[in-house]
Chains A and B, each alone.
Chain A
Amino acid sequence: MKKLYIVLIAFAITFSGCKKYFDINTDPATPQNPESKTLTPPLFAQMERGVQFDSRYLGGLIQYFGGAVNVGEQHGWIQISDAMGEIWRTNYYGLGANLNLIISDSEGKQEWNYVGMAQALKAWGWQITTDYHGDIILKQAYEPNRYVFDYDPQSDVYAEVVRLANESIKNFSRTDGAGTVAKLSSPDLAYQGDPAKWIKFNYGLLARNASNLINKSTYNPTKIIEYCDKSLASNADNFIVPNNGSNSADANFFGPLRQNMGAYRQTNIIVGLLDGTYFTGTSGLVIDPRRDNMITASADGVFRGTLPYRADAGTVAAKNQIPNLWGVLGGANPGAGLGKYIYKDKAGFPIMTSTEIQFIKAEAAFRNSDPTLAYTAYLKGISESIDFVSSQGVAITPAAKTAYLTSAAVKQSAATLTLRDIMLQKYLALYGYGFVETWSDLRKYNYITGDSKGNNPYVNVYVFPTTFYSDNGGKPAQRYRPRYNSEYIWNVAALAKIGADKIDYHTIPMWFAQP
């Protein structure tokens, strides 16, 4: 019996030191204690991922991309699929969860610039997600131990963007705390920690947010102009997500290495905007200096593009095949490292450019009955765009630029400037990256119906496909559904409340576009 006691005592001793022995549930292979600086670099790739993935459908809808690749060009949707749901993923998962960690880590360390950056990206995420999906989950998002989530109206999301952008501006303006530029510069792939640029980016977000509301009584163009003046001033301020382009993991989604865009053809609209058709009424009258960098001619030297949901009907024999985005015929891949414009492996992806801001300003000034201010911004917008495109391929000479700016394609006085000029130049300038922003423009002007004041800038330029997708009931798309595998299985009750279970949910107009 004595021995038994000894054994029992031995056990007792073992247990007393036991808790420590078992307190090892922290991964030695990957950190579980997040640090803002390591969480920051991947955020940028997540931003472009959301937009680029979804642009495979949205690009067709807004007619940046063609070739009848998928139902996007028909304003359709794909049942039981995560397709068209990548912005959703970026907002809640790719950014959201990481941004929350950054905010909590950096608030503790008083790194206000990190907090500000996280708020700015949150604001960007909410803005693009609501502009893309409409009503989304806002207030209950990220609540621990919650398994079903209610949707909030778009107006709430718009207000939250404003709140977050202003918070971010405040944080980037702070001089106290421990958030030095040096701390943020290396992980910050967009602005290298420069607080001034981040503040400009926030004002850009505010400008976007406010300029979508042209049909509302609260529309305030003066405020928008003020935002724009504090926002990106030149291409040096552009928010660009860099891509190393060395392998499939760090290469541009649009580049040949990733093999995603081979089937996509350049479109009729872009061809028409670049050869003067839509600005002068005559095809080929003014050739845009940006044309050779942005699109490619067929084998016979003629520039062609597809109409919505029309395949490339060209043949090798007739030399009229329409090139794809990489400038190659027959949907072929030119090979890694090649491609054109921002469809190259190493090309960065713009999230916001100064040209966009100039056109937002031009639109606001024009609507504010200040054509002179509008005209200045319009010219600067075109100029900034030409400079940006020049940097994406063969350099455009100053002479070519001046020739264009003084051509018939560009209005030569404030008096002759129209909203159509501004919006079509903006449409062209945002080609290949401003997918959601361009879509917002199209929707706020009700595609080719025009806004409440009768402005109809896209008529006779933007065209609908001959038939819409079968579920649309003859209506154009206004929104995309929330991501299928996030919501349509696990959050069905909440979806039903907003009508997202209906087959034509995607044709219901957005709050922002309505009076």
Chain B
Amino acid sequence: MLFLGSFLFAIQVMAQQITVTGKVTSAEDGLPIPGASVKIKGTLTAVQTSPTGLYSIKTKAGDVLQFIYLGMTTKEQTVGTATAINVVLSPDSKVLNEVVVTAFGIERDKRSLAYDAQTVKGTDLAQTQRENFINGLQGRVAGVTITPTNGTPGASSSIIIRGAVSLDGDNQPLFVVDGLPISNNTFSEYNLVGQGTFNRNNDYGNRGMDINPEEIESVTILKGPEAAALYGTQGASGAVIITTKKAKAGAARVSYSNSFTSQTPYRFPDVQTVYGGGAGGIFDEEIRTRTFFGSKYPEKYKIYDNLGSFYQTGWTQRHNASVEGGSEALSVRTGLSYVNQTGVIDGTDYTTLNAKVSGTAKISSKISMNASINFINSKTNKTYKGVGSPMLSVLTWPVVDDIRNRYTATGDRRTITGSLSGELDNPLWGMENNPNWDKVSRVLSNIGFSYKPTTWLSFQGTAGADIYSMQGLGAYHPQSYNANVTGVYAGGGINTFTDNFKLFNASLVGIVKKTYGKFKPVLRIGYDVSDKTEDVTAQYGSKFYQTNFYSLNNTDPTTQRVAYANPIIRKMGVFGQAEVGYDDMLYLTLTGRQDFTSTLPIERYAFFYPSTSLSFIFSELPVFKKISWLSEGKLRGSWAQTGKDPRNAYITKTKLVPQTTTGGGFAVDVTLGNPDLRAEFTTSTDVGIDLSFLKNRLSASFSYYKLVSDGQISAPRLSYATGAILENINSGKVVNQGFELTLKGSPIRKSNFSWDIIANITRARGKLTALPGDQTTFYVSDTWLFDNVRRQYFVGSSISALASLDYLRNNNGEILINPVNGMPIKDTNWTQIGDTAPDFGIGLTNSFTYKNFNLSFLFDIRKGGDIYNATELYLYARGMSKTSLDREEPRIIKGVLRDGLENSGTPTPNNIVVIPYITTSYYSTYYNTRDFIEKDINWIRLKDVTLGYTLPKTLFANSKTFKSASVFVTGTDLWLLTNYSGVDPSVNGLSAASGGTGGTGIDFGSSGQPRSFSFGLRVGF
């Protein structure tokens, strides 16, 4: 009877559609989970939970409901009679069950991966409130080094994964958004008329910063070989895989967030204010000099806070809004964001408007499609850097003169020395009269499909375009320093450019996936093609007709000049990847890729490279399964080859460049083309282990790698007897080694309170082991930006070495002194005097959750590595350094006279007394450059700290409009502890456009990262 009753009841229920409602909450904090999918198993029917975690789904008894949310363990619940099913989801601690999005949107089981691919959640980046999201990555991923060029709005940041490999080429990774490469290009000044300042005095932003951090779902970093195996030459330096937020089905949801940020600079070079302007110990009463070798300031003078007058508090406001919703068949998301930042230097600002629409459509049970379009519009008003840096000018403005006094009575530029060409512009005057800006309009579009004809076969295709137009203007007022110091900008001058960039990409991947007993083979075959065109036109004019009007139309036509560049690069690749899994325990992957590129000579335009990897989940072995404290363990190893083509188009033939000398015409470029170029190859070996303990409360991931890059395509300087100054050749061998260690722990995991720690530890070292011919050295000329220090490698040295001219010494190592003046003699040969590569770096993230509060903070720690403090040298040579306060003390420089006896048994000790106060060349000429290479610079930096509070849901119980709200306070770059004497050791003397290890570790007039405080709120409607 009971049986029959049940049976009948069941039939009745089966036939009956019921509506099940309920709530999905998190086991971690008891909070509702918005956006979780509730799906009827085996069907396509699914809904999503509301911002308060509620759902409602039509189903029938007997159906199995699946509750799915990323990062949570999926739960299944069979529908019975109850119409209310509340579900508590627990965090998915089975790390190895994660799916990792790799190249072309291929999702791979983390178990099968033989490399460590770390993923950062978009919210973690967005919450730092940085306008350039790349700066938020520092410390969050092992093996990734971010170096911002500057602390000013719209500054570029360079990102290097696993250290630089290329001597002078591009070492930055490929940026991929939703499966398609996009441009992270930083505009290079080589495109300007006369090649600008070789990226020394201006910066143009890296285009990856156009991505709205609020729209990022996650960022995965692919290091080296795997990225290259799939992305080919473009991914040879790794890849930053960005997945943006996708439309979610369900009732329309609206959210809005904002934040307001204040920024204050708080670190400045320490300068002396005891001795005033003048020379030879005589104070210039009329204040006509910006070198400070006079006597002590007489008391009667008022001291002005010129730094305070120049720097201001910067303000940023950000507004983000998004609307999403739709059905399973078609859902749409729109996101809109507006950022307006004014910098700490009056006149600098960055404004961006970012709009994105994305949609997902399920055309049939086999085919689904998605598409998105993202429009970005931004403008940056900049300041010059390097020798044009306002910082250097403020510091060398006499403190007894009010820097705000920048105009003469007649409205002209007021100078201290009386010479327009003899001193840097008053920085306030400079900001008002030397405009410098760039603006970008950009469209990123992406369309993708996936087609799954059978259970074992699927196809994925993506195509898209990245199109932008960037315009820029940099001008000098006729009275400015730059307009007077050389003839180039005589009468005032202007440089403008338009960079029209187009990148088209498409890829298609077919996947065959079958299971034969314990064997799980997967075959992936793919094809990708990219076509990149850039049209850069640059214009120059000088001799303004009308002062203070900045347009080419206002320049003397006879001075007008243009430069035009039109690089087109086409690439294509085919790859096959065979993966065999055995018993969920052992995975072998073999990959082969054939690349085709337009940048190599056509006879050698195609090249092939293989890779192989093995992943072994040893914790699946019975013997390890018994160990209760070991949750998971994986050993992995890979060997891969990577090919790389020339970074630039048209270097296989010598370029002829238009000449502006009398009669015009063409002449051979400074760099010789080379019809014998071939692809360069990097061989990498990578081994690692992943372990997790105590039900994943503690986990560790360690990787060691070695890269050997041979026959690099670089353009070294050679003897002019080659017929040019540089030549593109396959040169040199670089060996890179390093390790990455990621430790994760959850010391506390309670329903009300949890604490998580992540530590990322990185070490990367590159060494130059061979150069072609009998060459012993190689230098990157752009880095020779102030005094005799530059990025120069010697065979056997690090590829982040700095070289300079040291003092000459005798055989005993004693400094040689010129018997004429008692001053040291400088060597004329360049020797290595520093290495900017750190010993290691650590990123340490702590996050706490207590009821509705959450707090997280990130420390960025670096140990070792040298920094060239060019700012200090600049100031020292002008009598501004605090170390010069003992200048009145007579001294004998320790050393021996170069009198012919210096290498004999009895060298003559120096006995010539020097009083630097009088003989100021002690500071201005005879400094030892080595003293300004600050050795072993360490830092601990509080990169960011965020405190958030989610308002209790009871507050919104009666509201029909508001569904959720949270508030937050964020601080970035709040605190820096370092043994560096300058402003900020994390700077770049060039910009992200520079090649090799570029200007990182060269501090010349850079303003560091200002201290920022933000507060804001998020509201869900």
Within 8 A of B (CB), among A485-500: 485-493
Residue among B542, B561, B656, B667 with most chain A CB within 10 A: B667
Tell me which residues across on chain B come within 8 A of A148, comparing CB atoms.
719, 773-775
Tell me which residues across on chain B come within 8 A of A21, comparing CB atoms.
570, 572, 598
Partner of A42 from B667, B723, B729, B826 at Cβ < 8 Å: B667
Binary interface encoding of chain B residues 268-308 relative to chain A, with 1 for a CB under 8 A from any of its CBs, else 0: 00000000000000000000000000000000000000000
Contact assessment for A149 and B487 in the assembled complex, using a CB-CB cutoff below 8 Å: no
Contact assessment for A93 and B720 in the assembled complex, using a CB-CB cutoff below 8 Å: yes
Tell me which residues across on chain B come within 8 A of A137, comparing CB atoms.
719, 721
CA distance A64 to B665 in the complex (A): 33
CA distance A147 to B722 in the complex (A): 7
User: If A88-B720, A147-B773 touch, does A28 touch B664 (CB 8 Å cutoff)?
Assistant: no
Within 8 A of B (CB), among A452-486: 470, 483, 485-486
Contact assessment for B542 and A247 in the assembled complex, using a CB-CB cutoff below 8 Å: yes
B820 within 8 Å of A by Cβ? Answer: yes
B599 within 8 Å of A by Cβ? Answer: yes
Partner of A250 from B512, B565, B660, B775 at Cβ < 8 Å: B660
CB distance from A219 to the nearest CB of B (A): 31
Contact assessment for B598 and A31 in the assembled complex, using a CB-CB cutoff below 8 Å: no
Residues of A within 8 Å of B, CB-based: how many? 81
Tell me which residues across on chain B come within 8 A of A147, comparing CB atoms.
718-719, 722, 729, 772-775
Within 8 A of B (CB), among A237-289: 241-244, 246-251, 257-259
Within 8 A of A (CB), among B508-565: 508, 510, 512, 525, 527, 542, 556, 558-559, 561, 564-565
Partner of A22 from B598, B788, B830 at Cβ < 8 Å: B598
Tell me which residues across on chain A come within 8 A of B565, comparing CB atoms.
29
Tell me which residues across on chain B come within 8 A of A189, comparing CB atoms.
662-663
CB distance from A489 to the nearest CB of B (A): 6
CA distance A503 to B52 in the complex (A): 82
B758 within 8 Å of A by Cβ? Answer: no
CA distance A24 to B567 in the complex (A): 10
CA distance A241 to B570 in the complex (A): 44
User: If A38-B665, A148-B774 touch, does A22 touch B570 (CB 8 Å cutoff)?
Assistant: yes
A304 within 8 Å of B by Cβ? Answer: no
B455 within 8 Å of A by Cβ? Answer: no
A96 within 8 Å of B by Cβ? Answer: yes
B85 within 8 Å of A by Cβ? Answer: no
Residues of B within 8 Å of A, CB-based: how many? 81
CA distance A140 to B656 in the complex (A): 23
Binary interface encoding of chain B residues 950-975 relative to chain A, with 1 for a CB under 8 A from any of its CBs, else 0: 00000000000000000000000000
CA distance A28 to B567 in the complex (A): 8
Contact assessment for B663 and A97 in the assembled complex, using a CB-CB cutoff below 8 Å: no
A16 within 8 Å of B by Cβ? Answer: no
CA distance A246 to B542 in the complex (A): 11
Binary interface encoding of chain A residues 12-44 relative to chain B, with 1 for a CB under 8 A from any of its CBs, else 0: 001100110111111111111010001111111
CB distance from A72 to the nearest CB of B (A): 18
A336 within 8 Å of B by Cβ? Answer: yes
Contact assessment for A187 and B720 in the assembled complex, using a CB-CB cutoff below 8 Å: no
Partner of B490 from A94, A101, A257 at Cβ < 8 Å: A257
Closest A residue, CB atoms, query B650: A27
Within 8 A of A (CB), among B635-659: 649-650, 652-659
CB distance from A443 to the nearest CB of B (A): 24
Tell me which residues across on chain A come within 8 A of B724, comparing CB atoms.
93, 97
CA distance A303 to B716 in the complex (A): 51
Tell me which residues across on chain B come within 8 A of A44, comparing CB atoms.
662-663
Binary interface encoding of chain B residues 759-793 relative to chain A, with 1 for a CB under 8 A from any of its CBs, else 0: 00000000000001111110100000000100000
Tell me which residues across on chain A come within 8 A of B490, comparing CB atoms.
248, 257, 259, 336
Contact assessment for B719 and A486 in the assembled complex, using a CB-CB cutoff below 8 Å: yes
Contact assessment for B720 and A32 in the assembled complex, using a CB-CB cutoff below 8 Å: no
CA distance A211 to B779 in the complex (A): 43
CB distance from B60 to the nearest CB of A (A): 36
Contact assessment for A32 and B828 in the assembled complex, using a CB-CB cutoff below 8 Å: no
Closest 9 CB pairs of A and B: A41-B663, A147-B773, A45-B661, A97-B723, A41-B665, A249-B660, A246-B558, A92-B720, A248-B487
Please name 22 pairs of A and B residues whose Cβ atoms are closer than 8 Å in the assembled complex, sorted by A. Answer: A21-B598, A25-B652, A27-B567, A28-B568, A32-B653, A32-B655, A34-B666, A40-B665, A42-B664, A42-B667, A45-B662, A92-B722, A97-B668, A141-B721, A146-B722, A243-B662, A247-B559, A250-B662, A486-B721, A487-B719, A490-B775, A492-B776
A residues with a Cβ closer than 8 A to B are: 1, 3-4, 7-8, 11, 14-15, 18-19, 21-32, 34, 38-46, 79-80, 88-89, 92-94, 96-98, 100-101, 137, 140-142, 144-149, 187, 189, 241-244, 246-251, 257-259, 336, 470, 483, 485-493
B residues with a Cβ closer than 8 A to A are: 453, 457, 459, 486-488, 490, 508, 510, 512, 525, 527, 542, 556, 558-559, 561, 564-568, 570, 572, 574, 596-602, 605, 649-650, 652-668, 670, 672-673, 676, 716-725, 729, 772-777, 779, 788, 805, 818, 820, 826, 828, 830
